Each structure stands twice: as C-alpha cells, then as structure tokens.
Amino acid sequence: MKELCLPRRLKVGAGSFYKVGEVAKELHASHLFIVCGSLLMREPFLSQFKGMLSRQGLTADFFSGIKGEPTTEELNEALKQLKQSGADCIVAVGGGSVIDLAKALSVMGLVEEATLDSIPGMRVLERLPLIAVPTTAGTGSEASRVTVITERESQVKKNPGHEGMVPDAAILDPVLTVSLPKHVTAYTGLDALAHAMEAYVSRKATPLSDHFALEAVRLIGKWLPEAYENGEDLEAREMMLLGSYYAGVAFSNASTNLAHAAARPLGARFHIPHGLSVALLMPYVIEFGLEAAAERYADIGHMLGGNQEQSLKKAEYVLERVREFNDRFNILQEGSAYIPDGEAFINVMPTLIQNAMSGNGILTNKTVPDERDIERIYLQLLTSLKEEWRMSGIQK
C-alpha cells in the first residue's frame, strides 16, 4: 500500500496571508499564539495583520524570540509564554526556523510530557491546531512531518518526525517572500531543490511522492534563477513557494538522503545556514549516487531541461546544472567563510561522520553509504574549500 500525508488546507496567492483569521476560525480557534520572524513585526504587515484579526473577532499573543535556527532553549522560552497566553491555536509566520519551533510548540503546548526524542514513537500525536505561513521558499516545513531543533547541550540537530506534526493548513503568499535577500533566496531555493531530488532518488519514493518531487524540480529549475535575479517578480516568488511546498510533500513522505544526513552535523558544527550546508555537499552526493540511480537522475535531468537522448547523459546533466547553480549563487565562496580552516575541518570530521551515520537519510540511499564514503565526500568538499581559500588569497 502507498500513502501520502499533507496539510488538509492550502491557500496560494498574493494576499492569501490575510486569510489566516478565516482559517483559524475554521479550526475553531479564538486566541492565537503567533510565532514569527522579524518580517511580521514590520509595517505595513503588523497593522494590517492585527486589523484582520480584530475584524475576525480573534485575539493574539506574539512570540518573535528566535535568533537563528531554533534551539531547545528558545523552545522552552516559547513554551513558557504559550502557557501564560492560554492560546488555543498556533500560527507560524516565518522561515523554516520559525515553523519548526511552532510545530514542536503545538505538541508540547498540549502534551506536557512530550520531548523531541519521544515524538516519533508516539502512537497518536495530539497537538494544538497549527497554521504555517512560510516566508522563505524553502524548507517545505509547512508541508512536512518533521521539525528540526538544535539541542542546546549537545549541539546536535534533532529532527523528529511524526505524521501528526504536518500542519493543519499552509498559506503560500508570495508577497511575504519579496523581501528575502538574494543569498537567502539562493540557499533556501537550493534546499528545496535538494528535497525534491533526494525524495525522488530515495528508496522510500512512491508514485505518489514522485509526482510532487518531479513537479518541484521543474518549478524550481525554471523559477529559482528568476526569483534570485528579480526578487520582486511575484510570479517567480509564487512558483518558488509552490515548488518548495511540493518538495516538502515529497521528502516528508519519501525521506531526504545523504546530502541532508551529511549537511546536518556540518551545519550545526560551523553554524552554516541549512540550505547553504546542503548546497555545499550536493554535487559530491549526486556524484556518489549517480550510477546507482541513473534512471531516476535522468528523469530529474529531463525536468531540468536536459534534452539528451541517452539516459546517462541526462543524469549527468543534473550534476552540471547543480554545479552551475552553485557557481552562479557563490555557494562555495559563501560557505568557505563559515569554516575557520582545513585543520578545524579535519579535527571534527570523525564526529561529523558519526553524527551523519546515526541520523536520518542513510538507509534510504540507493547505494547505502558507509563511513568511508561519507569521509570521501567531506574530503572532496574540503579540497574545493582549500581551492576557494587559495583563489581568494585567504591563508587558512
């Protein structure tokens, strides 16, 4: 049997953001706890949003205390404020960081004994109603069963998943993503592309997840360059939101793979933004898996516009396009700034490898990697980083 799990309500389009109140009322909410990034705190959004809530007869408390990618410390603070607020519905308006914190909060706000470790094993997951409004495109967290939160003490990125954590509603409003800086557009867009590609080559892929994965690849391949060059293009922004939502549906049901497994510890150790850490590793991960999943990569190549006859050529075209995106968006140059030097990288490699092996996204690869494979991939990245440092005249 195959199945697919996704949010029950989806609204898409410029201005759809102001439907939050209507959707909340459909979920029988009266007092909202709004978890948000700094964007919602800016005008004209804040006044318009508050006006909309009061017209709907809704009250709200706001929590905007997330500094970067979310930590257990911030989650505990949000939990404290949620309890004081007594809200009956959680609304997340922000990037993946904000949505992830809101997802965990929606569970822990209702089930006191729930922890990040216990969530996956819960038979039925009860939580407060949850509406997700992404302002990046993106993590696809608005469509996924996963929340990613860094545990403060261990600095490990935990990523528990549960079908019950898929938000009740997702609202995709391109107006909210116009203000994204170029580099965030690139990192988050490449993250979404990686979700779609990894879901499509996953051992857990089904015809249901394939449908979303391939359409996501097509949309992102076509619209990411336009959203990057011309951030005010609402059509490009909307297509990117749709692409990242579809990619979220795909990976949430079929899993991400090696690029995410290896990027999680790398990102956590050197504080590299999630999408950037994934994009840095993607070329080497594709190279590693290309032959074993040649037919699948050929389909991806086709969606990216590859018109070669031979399927292996189409598969190789994926690698070419991914390298081209990385060059165009300065991925290696920007990533290299987060890593102090080659020695620091080598010193943490055993821990990175161990964490990558013990996280999600290892067993779902067509060729299941071992420690040596992951070591080789990190070393390939290090070679490119050294070349980048040399070219920019940086002594590291």
Please give the residue ranges that form the binding site for ligand NAD (CB under 6 A): 37-39, 69, 94-98, 100, 135-136, 138-141, 144, 146-148, 176-177, 179-180, 184, 188, 191, 274-275
| Closer residue to Zn ion in complex, CB, 146/298 | 146
- Region from 59-67, 114-122, 183-191, 234-242 binding Zn ion, contact rule CB under 5 A: 183-191
| Closer residue to Zn ion in complex, CB, 21/283 | 283
Q: How far is the CB of 295 from ligand NAD (least distance, A)?
A: 26
Residue 169 bridge partners (DSSP): 9, 131
Task: Specify whether the CB–CB gap between 248 and 139 falls below 8 A.
Answer: yes
| Closer residue to ligand NAD in complex, CB, 32/249 | 249
Q: How far is the CB of 194 from Zn ion (least distance, A)?
A: 6
Instruction: Tell me how many helices (H) and strands (E) the chain has.
Output: 14, 8
| Closer residue to ligand NAD in complex, CB, 187/378 | 187
| Closer residue to Zn ion in complex, CB, 140/306 | 140
Q: Are strands 156-158 and 149-151 parallel, antiparallel or unpaired?
A: antiparallel
Q: What single string gives the DSSP state of each residue in 221-258? A: HHHHHHHHH-TT-HHHHHHHHHHHHHHHHHHHHH---H
72 binds, among ligand NAD, Zn ion, none (CB under 5 to 8 A by kind): none
244 binds, among Zn ion, ligand NAD, none (CB under 5 to 8 A by kind): none
Residue nearest to ligand NAD (CB): 95
Separation CA 279–CA 267 (nearest Å):
11
Site membership for Zn ion, residue 69 (CB under 5 A): no
DSSP structural state of residue 119: G
Task: Specify whether the CB–CB gap between 312 and 294 falls below 8 A.
Answer: yes
CB contact set of 359 (below 8 Å; sequence gap of 6+): 159, 261, 264, 265
Instruction: Kindly state the tokens that stand for 42.
Output: 């800016």
Helix (H, G, I), strand (E, B) or coil at 138: coil
144 binds, among ligand NAD, Zn ion, none (CB under 5 to 8 A by kind): ligand NAD
71 binds, among ligand NAD, Zn ion, none (CB under 5 to 8 A by kind): none
Q: How far is the CB of 94 from ligand NAD (least distance, A)?
A: 6
127 binds, among Zn ion, ligand NAD, none (CB under 5 to 8 A by kind): none
| Closer residue to Zn ion in complex, CB, 69/299 | 69
H or E element, residue 134: strand 130-134
Q: Which of residues 184-213 bind Zn ion (CB under 5 A)?
A: 191
What are the phi and psi torsion angles at 239 (to 5°)? Answer: -65, -35
Separation CA 46–CA 246 (nearest Å):
28
Q: How far is the CB of 111 from ligand NAD (least distance, A)?
A: 19
| Closer residue to ligand NAD in complex, CB, 107/180 | 180
Q: Which residues bind Zn ion (CB under 5 A)?
A: 191
